[in-house]
Amino acid sequence: MSVKSLFSPIWWVLKKFWWLLDGTRRALLNLLLLALIVAIVWGLATRGPKPLKDKTTLVLDLQGDIVEQFSGSPRDQALAQLRGDARHQTRLRDLLAVLDSAAKDDKLAQLVLDLDRMGSASPATLREMEAALQRFKKDSGGKPVVAFASNYDQRSYYLAAQADQVYLHPMGAVLIEGFGRYRTYYKDALDRVGVTAHVLKVGTYKNFAEPYMANGPSKASLEAEAYLWDDLWGRFQQGIEKARKLQPGALKQAIDELPQRLAAVNGNTGKLALNEKLIDGLKTRDQLKELLEKKGALDDKQLRQIRLGAYLARIPPKLPSSEGAVGVIVAEGEIVDGEAAPGKIGGESTAKLIRQAREDDKIKALVLRVNSPGGSAFASELVRRELELARSAGKPVVVSMGGVAASGGYWISTASDEIFADASTVTGSIGVVGVLPTAEKLMDKLSLRTGGYTTTWLAGGLDPRRALDPRLEAVIQGAINHTYGEFTARVAQARKKTVEEVDQVGQGRVWSGQQALERGLVDKLGRLEDAVASAAQRAKLGDKPQVRYVETERSKWEQVADSFGDALAPSVQAMVRDALRQSGVPVLPQSVQAVQGDMSWLVEQAQTGAKGRVPALAHCLCGMP
């Protein structure tokens, strides 16, 4: 028998097996393709959300900080989630749109504020939400508004107080602390390690860099902060006391007598909140569900409900108007040079958006929504100049100030026809500061030396290893004085005041919106909708203009990345956290993280100076309670 005849049956079996395997592969791929086609056709055929059923409960599940715009690119957000330092965010305009639409929706039986995961929100933002909730109660025909949380801080409680019924977990608490802050001061620590922070500024009240040059707040800082915080705190108390029908001063008295009142209820914080009439009842989540079911309805033994994101997707976009639109540009976050992702104001990137709106014939007026403590004076001027060009092109520009519009945030607001602020907006801080850290004493401590040849005294003048030359200090102080002069001159021209009058309310001092109105720094108190109405009136667009947000367009890949992050980040994040925990990597306390952030900023200034550029900063360092 030949070798060929011996292996012939085996070869035949292998060929048949391969044919079967290849056929199976093709069949599976074809089935997969067919399933994909069917899914696409089915998706197109059933496009759009299903109609809401009667007695649906709308649940506003606020996630994280309430912001004007989402921060960072989808890639940045995904990486931050993996690191475990990202927080969800809720966009203010989404909340307002949902509340205004839901008020007229007959399918909705009630509104629930789920505040367990709410993060920070400025006093001005809370007042925007307060107004929207009051509109909902007025326009919805009496639909009940119910608030619930396991614990309330003072931000979430301010919103809860606007509800018809406020409930708290029996083991929860309502924590209202008041406004204010403590800052860490580094002068002694910097002296000990041999670092000198040369602070050059204009403005008696300009305390941005005070922690690096002193061991405690100056008398001027305490005076200015007391004037601001007391005004904001008074308005905050009034908002809660009015909503809960409490006597004026009831909150202050409750805080003053907290130890005695808590002792009277044996430390039961839930009962204390009930006794103080801050809440209407103590309920667990299942008890709350039973309560909501009486007004709403069930689907498969579950409360028939729709949450914020799902309801937002149901709101149809407004059709373009032949008359044109009011373009809204959000300027939120610190002002930095160059390009910046959402959540920061880039001098070039934000100016580009304004230019885009100016060159768009369909946009007839602009509203700049400012929520910024300031930053780079140069970047601020780029943004201001583009707004000036928009006005020169015949397009009205109206500024709407959000939580904070101070220093650089106020600088960019000057090129406008009108400025609106909330009574609790933090604004002003007309002043300029620069910081030049040097470490020549640290070099001595480490027995390190530096030397070399330069053709002029200025070469290497910004080297942080060497003492600051008095001539260079004088040059930089002169430039900062000039920048302050430019700042006050622009404000004087915009506000129709003398430079001396602006200097009196400037000097780096921060005001509330109400105080700013009294000093002529803003034109009117109002919300974003008021600014839009004013811009529309100036452009003759009627009472109900189309509003279009002018934003950087996201690519399809960014949209996919965003979806990928939402879907997979939580599980991957948990894996990363577990790995870190098992490896013994510690998580820094929040207070230590704050110090780390401050010192990182100081190091950044040293590195910037080493590159030959000292930025003039128009920044207020005004944090929100």
Q: What is the mean pLDDT of residues 172-179?
A: 96
pLDDT of residue 81: 52
Task: Supply the pLDDT for residue 24.
Answer: 77
Return the structure tokens found at 59.
Answer: 């649940």
Please state whether beta strands 546-549 and 325-332 pair in parallel, antiparallel, or not at all (unpaired).
parallel
CA–CA distance, 187 with 211 (Å, rounded to integer): 7
Dihedral sign (CA 361, 367, 368, 371) = negative
Share of the chain above pLDDT 70, in %: 82
What residues are paired with 152 via a beta bridge? 174
Given a cut of 90, whether residue 539 has pLDDT beyond it is yes
- pLDDT: is 230 or 17 the higher one? 230
Q: How far apart are the first and last CA of the chain?
A: 95
Predicted pLDDT at 481:
93
Report d(CA 399, CA 392) in Å as an integer.
Answer: 16
User: pLDDT-based confidence at 563, cuts 50/70/90?
Assistant: very low
pLDDT at 419 over 70: yes
Specify whether the CB–CB gap between 242 and 250 falls below 8 A. no
Question: What is the model's pLDDT at position 434?
Answer: 87
Amino acid at 623: G
d(CA 82, CA 569): 6
Q: Is pLDDT of 507 > 70? A: yes
DSSP 76: H
Separation CA 147–CA 165 (nearest Å)? 6
Catalytic residue among 71, 376, 407, 424: 407
Cβ(362)–Cβ(324) under 8 Å? yes
Higher-scoring residue by pLDDT: 10, 222: 222
- pLDDT(579) > 60: no
CATH hierarchy code of domain 56-174+279-314: 3.90.226.10
State the pairing for strand pair 89-91/65-67.
parallel
Report yes or no: 618 and 408 within 8 Å, Cβ to Cβ.
yes
**pLDDT the model gives residue 561:** 47
Q: Which residue has the tokens 């933002």?
A: 125
**In this structure, are residues 237 and 177 in contact, taking their beta carbons and an 8 Å threshold?**
no
Q: What pLDDT does residue 181 have? A: 87
pLDDT of residue 576: 39
pLDDT the model gives residue 625? 55
Cα distance between residue 53 and residue 305, in whole Å: 9
Q: Which residues pair with 548 in a beta bridge?
A: 327
Name the band, by pLDDT with cuts 50, 70 and 90, for residue 585.
very low
Query: Could you give phi then psi for residue 503, rounded to 5 degrees?
Result: -60, -35
| Tokens encoding 529 | 């909708």
Task: Indicate whether 9 pLDDT > 60.
Answer: yes
6, pLDDT greater than 60: no
Where is pLDDT greater, at 74 or 141? 141
The count of other CB atoms within 10 Å of the CB of residue 394 is 10
pLDDT band at residue 323 under the 50/70/90 scheme: confident
CB atoms within 10 A of CB 478: 11
Helices (H) and strands (E) counted in the chain, each on its own, are: 23, 24
Residue 112, Cα to own-chain centre: how many angstroms?
23
Distance between CA atoms of 143 and 452, rounded to whole angstroms? 77
C-alpha to C-alpha distance for 437 and 200, rounded to whole angstroms? 11
- What average pLDDT does range 505-511 have in this prediction? 95
Tokens at residue 115, please?
A: 């505040």
pTM score of the predicted model: 0.84
Please tell me the CATH superfamily of domain 182-243+320-553+590-625, with its number: 2-enoyl-CoA Hydratase; Chain A, domain 1 (3.90.226.10)
Lowest-pLDDT choice from 68-72, 119-123, 515-519: 68-72
Residue limits of CATH 3.90.226.10 in the chain: 56-174+279-314, 182-243+320-553+590-625
What rounded mean pLDDT belongs to the chain?
86
Q: How confident is the model at residue 413 (pLDDT cuts 50, 70, 90)?
A: very high
d(C-alpha 36, C-alpha 33), whole Å: 5
pLDDT score at 615: 62
* Nearest one of 498, 506, 409 to 205, comparing CA atoms: 506
Residue predicted with more confidence, 49 or 441: 441
Which one from 143, 201, 206, 395 is the annotated catalytic residue? 206
The answer, yes or no, to whether residue 57 has pLDDT greater than 50, is yes
Two tokens at 480? 């900062």
Dist. CA 95–CA 90, nearest whole Å: 8
Q: Are 419 and 384 in contact (CB under 8 A)?
A: no
SS3 266: coil
What per-residue string of b and e applies to 61-99 under the rule 16 or more CB within 10 Å gives b? Answer: bbbebbbbbbbbbbebbbebbbeeebeebbbbbbbbebb
Q: Which residue has the tokens 């109660």?
A: 137
- The enclosing H or E element of 96 equals helix 92-102
User: Who's near 193: CB < 8 A, 6+ residues apart?
Assistant: 442, 445
Residue 156 catalytic? no
Specify the DSSP class assigned to residue 268.
-
Q: How confident is the model at residue 565 (pLDDT cuts 50, 70, 90)?
A: very low
163, 147 contact by CB (below 8 A): yes
Residue 289 catalytic? no
CA distance linking residue 204 with residue 167, whole number of Å: 47
Q: Output the 3-class SS for 440-493.
A: HHHHHHCCCCCCCCCCCCCCCCCCCCCCCCHHHHHHHHHHHHHHHHHHHHHHHH
- In single-letter form, the type of residue at position 492 comes to A
- pLDDT tens for each residue of 251-293: 999 999 999 999 999 999 999 999 999 999 999 999 999 999 9
Per DSSP, the residues of 490-522 read HHHHHHT--HHHHHHH-TT-EEEHHHHHHTTSS
Phi, psi of 425 (to 5 degrees): -65, 140
Say if residue 89's pLDDT is above 80.
Answer: yes
